[in-house]
Chains A and B, each alone.
Chain A
Amino acid sequence: MSIQRSFAAPGGAVSVDQLPKLEGEITLYLGRGEGGLYENVLEAIRKRNPKLNLKIRRGATAALANSIVAESKAGVKRADVFWAVDSGAIGLISDAGLARPLPADLIAQLRPGFQYTQWAPVTGRVRTLPYNTDRLTAEQIPESVMALADSDLSIGWAPAYASFQSFVTAMRLLEGDKVTADWLRAIKARATTYAGELGVVMAVERGEVDLGFANHYYTLRLKNGKPDAKVALGFTKNDAGCLVNAGGILALSDGDLPINFIRYLLTEEVQSYLASEAYEIPLVEGAKPPQGLPPLDSISPPKIDLTQLADLRPTLNLMRRVGVL
């Protein structure tokens, strides 16, 4: 999977004007974490489609994924579409056989390497190590995320956050359960827990901790509002620490409405909004990457199939066993 290449080809995204109007009732389970920005997108879709009755249930992505599975087991179906901030939670749903297949033309809009039959990636994100620039220099950031376990840095993290859990899953797949458990234990001894990764980045900027674990966009957003913020992005090399992950959406009900709803998120307008405002990496062909992200050829993400990140349950069990959840 080469991100650099996938950014090159222009064209692909359609405009909202080309899409059919949405009509009827639809329930969206929205894995939150992006604050008001996803809400703004949904509000815009609502405004464009006055006949759409869009109901939104908000929750942590992993919690909603688990709810969807539990609901289907109990024979109670509530959600029509699930917009998750993380592909691990999506895999949990599609592994349970609950996701409806997407039409080929929709899949074709997505960048090569991000085309799946069960779900549509909406935006991408890179795992990063935001660090306080008063306390550390770029040289002091270890090249390996594993090396952090032996450092004496103070660390901020949000273990309850879905993206972090996917990162741990990636580490499990790359390094094995035992190494991952030891690593979590070692980090836990020096870590401060925050509710979300925005909290982590804010804490790094305030100097509460030296460095944190967070998706790239929180740092970029913070710096956008506060250009002299004392925080910069650090990257590890070739390990889970710089995993490139995606948030995405899937349909849980049959019919055109869920599919057409998904199409709205893949339009040029929404994609460029999420890139410019949320600093997320658009995954539809032709949309421009966000400003402020370092040249992507300098990042070397591990080779991992995103659908494997669905193996969330062992991750949660492991995290619970070592007492970080």
Chain B
Amino acid sequence: MSLTLGRRWPASYPLALLIALLAIVPVGVLVGLASDSAELFDAHNLRVLTNTLLLMVFTVLGSVAIGVPLALITAYAQLPWRRLWLILLAAPLAIPSYIGAFTLYAAFGRGGEIQQLLGWSMPAVNGLPGATLVMTLYSYPFVMLTTRASLLSLDASLVNAARTLGMSIAASLWRVVLPRVATGIAAGALLVALYTLSDFGTPAIMRVDTFTRVIFVEYNAFGLSQAAMLSLQLLVIVGLVLFLESRVRGNKERPGRHLTLWPSRGQKLLMALVFAPVFVLAIVLPLLVFGIWLWREGTAGFDATYAWNSAHASFLAALVAVVLAIPVAHAAIAGRAGRFMERLTYFGFGVPGIVMGTALVYVGLQLPFLYQTLGLLVLAYVLRFLPLAVGSVRSTAEGLDPSLVKAARLLGASPREAFQRITLPLTIRGMVAGAALVFLEAMRELPATLMLGPTGFETLATYLWRVYEAGYFGRAAIPGLLLVLMSALGLALMLSGERRAEFDVTGK
């Protein structure tokens, strides 16, 4: 009897399968749309492809160039207020890159805020170099954090051996430490690549014709089939990056003593001088620009319902995502087929918001009761950010000691009761964390909200975009600051998670 039980599908499978199938519906829709009348490829596409790839490659290079040294410093260097430096250097993650693009665009250039304030004539930040700068400033923390995590898991004794054998600090970092964290760096770099591919606001504001921007133009002309074709081309690249990412696996070393570096006063000063511009450009400048606008124009035009709408829709998305994540996460733990279903839902995270929007607009037109409803918008958020919830729920569920559930079952509890009384209470933390992540991502999502939102439904992100398009930059202050504030909460959540990991490593 036990054999037949073992062969039966786990209870979470049917639901998980359904959710996984739902997650790939947008891709099916796009294929159907694109086969309609779209041109596969022309000279214009080649330019778009080139721009997209160049932006991705340059951003990855820039992020590695900034992120890896910062990871070394924050992991190993003994500096006063280490915790504070880490938070400050990771802070760009709290700012959606389109806010950075917006403020940098407004601050630099002829007649920009810097010139108005200080009278210095500054070069304009726009085009491919501008977009690369902005994307690098806001995505290097991915590389910094993944690299730092790898660095913290290393044992210092190899470095000490190298040092005893006469290698300098710099040489031993280069030849002993870095090769061992290559996978950490690669993981961060791939995240950066993914983020760059899916971003819409930055290329639009910097006026670079990347896939996301051109898709938006096509959608606006209601060239849905051409937009779908471009979306599929973008998805091929995204799929490639996702594949590479799945190949990158961290090699775990048995953690040992941490490497500690004691920089001299001059070296500290040098570090500060080199990295201050990064912090100033990514954090200080946007906040300063918003501050100036707030002071100059006040809160004119802003309506508290924008913030409420953002919070409301994002909250619904977070709730639905977590509810859907539970069966998927449990299926993933239950077996190979479940793991495959989980992989399918991960696809949504690689689908840029603009692509999701294009697909769901079409779905809405076919299903009028969904068109321009909050429900469709929430569905878009859920499909995109479900993996965040799944990942979070699964990792806490995996951490559970299975013997607890077995003990409960042995004592006569039904599977349902064991889940309710053992599994659920112990995984609630993961659910809350997952929900928070979905909430924050949904709050920042711009293109899908623009395309799918109900009539009259203005969120912080769409209001910010409207203000940008109309040229009333001053009115961006309040929604911009609110978005940054909300995102900062998400960052705090992430860092508190990382601190736990760090304590684990050091055995405290």
Contacts and interface: CB of A to CB of B under 8 A. Distances in A.
Most chain A CB inside 10 Å of its own CB: which residue of B47, B301, B366, B470: B470
Contacts of B124: 208
B456 interface: yes
Contact of A56 (B366, B368, B456): B456
A26 to B, nearest CB: 11
Given A56-B456, A58-B466, A323-B47, A160 B471 contact: no
A36 B220 contact: no
A199 B471 CA distance: 7
B221 A198 contact: no
Most chain A CB inside 10 Å of its own CB: which residue of B43, B217, B471: B471
A57 B371 CA distance: 13
A75 B222 CA distance: 16
Contacts of A325: 217, 221
Contacts of A323: 43-44, 47
Contacts of A192: 207
B456 A195 contact: no
Given A57-B456, A323-B47, A62 B221 contact: yes
Interface in A190-228: 192-196, 198-199, 202, 205-208
A38 to B, nearest CB: 10
A160 B213 CA distance: 12
A74 B471 CA distance: 34
Nearest to A206: B111
Interface string B179-212: 0000000000000000000000000100100000
Contacts of A316: 221, 223
A296 B469 CA distance: 30
A69 B372 CA distance: 15
Contacts of A36: 301, 470, 472
A208 B125 CA distance: 12
A44 interface: no
Interface in B363-394: 364-366, 368, 371-372
B110 interface: yes
A76 interface: yes
A interface, by DSSP: helix, strand, loop or mixed?
A: mixed
Contacts of B472: 35-36
A22 B219 CA distance: 34
A27 interface: yes
Interface string B56-77: 0000000000000000000000
Given A36-B301, A56-B455, A57-B455, A76 B365 contact: yes
Contacts of B306: none
Interface residue tally on B, bucketed by range: 20 to 34
A27 B221 contact: no
A78 interface: yes
B109 interface: yes
B222 A67 contact: yes
Interface string B477-489: 0000000000000
A293 B371 CA distance: 44
Contacts of A52: none
B110 to A, nearest CB: 4
B468 interface: yes
Interface string A295-325: 0000000000000000000001000100101
B365 A74 contact: yes
Interface of A: 27, 32-36, 55-60, 62-63, 66-67, 69-71, 74-76, 78, 160, 192-196, 198-199, 202, 205-208, 316, 320, 323, 325
Given A32-B470, A75-B368, A78-B371, 13 more contacts: A33-B470, A58-B466, A66-B222, A67-B222, A69-B222, A70-B222, A78-B372, A192-B207, A195-B204, A202-B471, A205-B111, A323-B47, A325-B221
15 contacts: A55-B455, A57-B372, A57-B456, A58-B466, A62-B220, A67-B222, A69-B222, A70-B365, A76-B368, A76-B371, A192-B207, A195-B204, A196-B469, A196-B471, A206-B109
Q: Which 10 A-B pairs have the closest CB atoms?
A: A66-B222, A206-B111, A35-B470, A63-B220, A74-B365, A57-B455, A198-B471, A76-B368, A55-B456, A206-B110
Interface of B: 43-44, 47, 109-111, 124, 204, 207, 217, 219-224, 301, 364-366, 368, 371-372, 455-456, 466, 468-472
